[in-house]
Amino acid sequence: MEEHQVTAEGETRKLPEPFFVVATQNPSHLVGTFPLPESQLDRFLMRIDLGYPDREAERTLLQGADRRDMIAGLDACLRPGDLMGLQAAAKAIHAASPLLDYIQELVEHSRRAPEYANGLSPRAALALLHAARAWAFIEGRDKVVPEDVQAVLPGVAGHRLRPVHDGIRTSSLDKATALISAVPIP
């Protein structure tokens, strides 16, 4: 993912820009499904739990055409260059020094907190900043505010924080809420 290239049968091919990976995960109790190691989980910017569709949405799925067939009929809403321009604009969103302090405090708290086997990595801190910049951009702001960091924290940190006791199941939102409560906004 990070290298923006694939190698198959000894031949390396560079992937086109823009490049990103969207992946799905089967429940870990299914046969042949194994949890990813922490080092691999850390490479994903976010993990978002969509849950199950509501009854009406599920009925639409049951009555509708095959979703894979429908993809062929979709019109592109952006050209690759347009998407790259939006990505560049999001990267340019200002993050002030106190906001960077806040991100560092969240990360450092996760590393010291006794309830986690390991804290958030430097890669997680960068992911938190990048996602918060994108959130601020979507919200129409030219700077990142602490609420942007808090909004993306469940998706960015939830899959990276592992409880000390493996039997404890804590949602991404609960983990983020605990961090937000423990670390005051500067």
Structure tokens at 57: 């949405």
Cβ partners under 8 Å of residue 179, min gap 6: 106, 109, 110, 153, 157
The confidence score (pLDDT) of residue 171 equals: 82
Residue 51 carries which DSSP code? -
What confidence tens digit (pLDDT) does each residue in 167-181 have? 667 788 888 888 999
Task: Reply yes or no on whether the pLDDT at 137 is more than 80.
Answer: yes
Cβ partners under 8 Å of residue 159, min gap 6: 41, 44, 46, 47, 172
Cβ partners under 8 Å of residue 19, min gap 6: 4
Domain ranges for the chain, please list them.
5-51+78-182
Structure tokens at 184: 């005051």
CATH of 5-51+78-182, one of 1.10.8.80, 1.10.3720.10, 1.10.260.30, 3.30.450.40: 1.10.8.80
Please give the full DSSP string across 17-46, using - where no structure is assigned. Answer: SS---------TTSTT--PPPHHHHTTSS-
What confidence tens digit (pLDDT) does each residue in 19-50 have? 878 887 776 666 667 777 777 877 888 888 88
At 63, give phi and psi (nearest 5°): -90, -15
What confidence tens digit (pLDDT) does each residue in 61-107 have? 899 888 888 888 889 899 999 999 999 999 999 999 999 999 999 99
